[in-house]
Amino acid sequence: MNNRQSELETLRADLKARLSRYEAHQHREDGALEKDFEEQAVQTQNDEVVDSLETETRAELIQIEHALERIRHGVGEECEGCGEEIDPRRLQVLPYTTVCVACAED
> Phi, psi (5° rounding) for residue 7?
-65, -45
Query: According to the binding rule CB under 5 A, does residue 81 interact with Zn ion?
Result: yes
Q: Residue 14 or 80: which CB sits closer to Zn ion? A: 80
CB of residue 50 to Zn ion, shortest distance in Å = 35
Question: Does the protein bind Zn ion through residue 94 (CB under 5 A)?
Answer: no
What are 78's strand-pairing partners? 85
CB of 54 to Zn ion, least distance (A): 31
Q: Does 91 sit near Zn ion (CB under 5 A)? A: no
Nearest to 98 by CA among 78, 69, 72: 78
Backbone angles phi, psi at 78, to 5 degrees: -95, 140
